[in-house]
Amino acid sequence: MQLAPLASGEEDKGGGGGEGAADGEVASCKGLLSATPGPTPDPTPSHNNKVTPTPSMTLLATASTGGAGSVTHTTDIHVRETWNKKVEFLLAVIGFAVDLGNVWRFPYICYQNGGGAFLIPYCLMLVFGGLPLFYMELALGQFHRSGCLTIWRRICPALKGVGYAICLIDIYMGMYYNTIIGWAVYYLFASFRSELPWTSCGNSWNTENCVPVLNVSAQHANSTSPAQEFFTRSVLEQHLSDGLDHMGPIKLSLAVCVLAVFILVYFSLWKGVRSTGKVVWFTALMPYIVLFILLGRGVTLPGAADGIRYYLTPQWHKLYNSKVWIDAASQIFFSLGPGFGTLLALSSYNKFHNNCYRDAILTSSVNCLTSFLAGFVIFSVLGYMAHVQNKHIEDVGLEGPGLVFIVYPEAIATMSGSVFWSIIFFIMLITLGLDSTFGGLEAMITALCDEYPRVLGQHREKFVAGLLVFIYICSLPTCTYGGEYLVNLLNIYGPGISILFVVFVEAVGVCWFYGVDRFSSDIQLMIGIRPGLFWRLCWNCISPVFILAIFIFSLVGYEDLKSGDYEYPPWSITVGWILTASSLVCIPAYILYFLASTPGTLKQVI
């Protein structure tokens, strides 16, 4: 059993964990004391004189510090599953943070915003914005030992809607992110043949505009590469769709690939950290093995040095552009992933005295270094492609899915041993994606199991199965011929803007209502060291402003959604904003519910 001290020196006044929403949530935000994470067990022994612990069972105990001005701390002895090994937790956090965006977004953003000069705003945003939020969530989850719903009983009950918003955002992410992994699964199976299917133009899906990438003399204004046509006309079959107005039927092969992803996810999550801790040994480490193998191959290609030079050459004048700093802040935020509930969930299974400060520094540093490493892997190959096609690198590279599903496979097809390189590349993409989807879904699963321990927590395996079946059914429209258009829509309007506001409210709730001093005392109880002035200043001022600035600039810089030449119909943009609002409305709606259902005057409640 783990000792989980409450955040204050008084006895618990709130309710325990139970199935209700507001039962026992009568403490105000400013005067709230940490409540116990779960229901207090019935002291009456069973017929065999044993009490069977549940995942949320707690026992109250007290401890006091000696000396003058001693403070009594109420603690709860919380029976909660923990990671078998510390390294499993670290791998899970690294696996969540290091995702597909590290490969397909950071290198392009770095190059576009000044090359090596971009590392200056990137590191500054990491130190003053991203890392403090990352550290905050790891510490919160470890101290309170609960997910993104139950934890608000101990921080600020009125803001529990933040947890519901996170759960809804995680569902939206599951609806499209697993489809992208499914594309990689499709490519992986397509790679097991003597010649990669996107090497030549003699396939049934190719058009008369298809020109092999090495046939430079035959290329013209309307020419397309075999890799591009394989992705759009064989994998997605977009030409059979008219867009979101007529998306077409479900493509069975894609639906099967996505189903395979969900099955892998289920058997990784069904037993909680017992199963996840074993899987991350492969899914978190495999990408690094492949990245170093691809780097070794990439730097030996002709033109690789030119690509790396473009990647790193500083363009100092771009630092005067505010967009560069906003891009750095956005990249850090979405790369580290605070606000999705994952860091809270994963750290809640740590031992109470685990050094979460050291974990935050280590895992965030690994994440950023991985992004930097991926840049060498990508730009060495882009330099090679520019060399063989006699083009400028800017005319070769793309960001987003096009980079990993068109440009890089196109380069692989021109290499000797292309089948091998293709197989390991798409295994890397699959493992990168799986780790992130593990984290997002675990956040929701932990939150709901903690909130409803008797209904869901004791039947985790069935609950996880039902949840994944529901999300898979919801994701089937992304497996239609026009599914990519829906994937883009969900990506922008599902988590894109709403998660920024959610994290801002979370930071305000923790730092201003719960209080930085109280939070710092919690950390001192866990690791024996009180956070210094730098961390307290970041939590009080810099981090909330950091998030608010990204949120405001995201709204100001909003542009109508496009996918290549396809313009989204107005009704789809309206649907997108409804998706965004659906998660955001959880926060004010729960505040109103809390105020209406909590006894006392408005001043007492607030």
Dihedrals phi, psi of 76, to nearest 5 degrees: -120, 135
Task: Provide the residue type at 102 as one letter.
Answer: N
Is the Cα dihedral 432, 150, 528, 508 positive or negative? positive
Burial class (CB in 10 A: 0-12, 13-18, 19+), 93: buried
Cα–Cα nearest to 310, from 107, 500, 474: 107
For 19, 183, 252, 458, the CA distances from 206, given in Å and listed in that order, are: 57, 19, 21, 53
Q: Quick one: three-class SS letters along 499-511? A: HHHHHHHHHHHHH
Contacts of 533 (CB under 8 A, 6+ apart): none
Is the Cα dihedral 237, 238, 242, 247 positive or negative? positive
Q: How far apart are the first and last CA of the chain?
A: 35
Cα–Cα nearest to 235, from 194, 310, 281, 179: 179
Is 356 in contact with 525 (CB distance < 8 Å)?
A: no
DSSP state letter for 495 = I
DSSP state letter for 61 = E
Could you give the CA distance from residue 500 to residue 283 in angstroms, rounded to a whole number? 28
Tokens read off for 521: 């005392």
The H-or-E segment that residue 461 falls in is helix 460-475
Q: What is the CA radius of gyration of the chain?
A: 25
Region at 28 (left for phi over 0; alpha for psi -120 to 50; beta for the rest): beta
DSSP state letter for 43 = S
Beta-bridged to residue 566, according to DSSP, are 563
The H-or-E segment that residue 593 falls in is helix 586-597
Residue 102 annotated in ligand binding: yes
- DSSP secondary structure string for all residues of 390-407: T--GGGT---THHIIIII
Tokens read off for 362: 């280590």
Is 266 in contact with 258 (CB distance < 8 Å)?
A: no
Residue 436 annotated in ligand binding: yes
Residue 95 annotated in ligand binding: yes
Tokens read off for 99: 């995702």
Residue 488 annotated in ligand binding: no
Is 92 in contact with 276 (CB distance < 8 Å)?
A: yes
Residue 432 annotated in ligand binding: yes
- DSSP secondary structure string for all residues of 423-452: HHHHHHHHHHHHHHHHHHHHHHHHHHHHHS
Is 25 in contact with 153 (CB distance < 8 Å)?
A: yes
Binding-site residue ranges for Na(+): 95, 97-98, 102, 335, 367, 432, 435-436
Binding-site residue ranges: 95, 97-98, 102, 335, 367, 432, 435-436
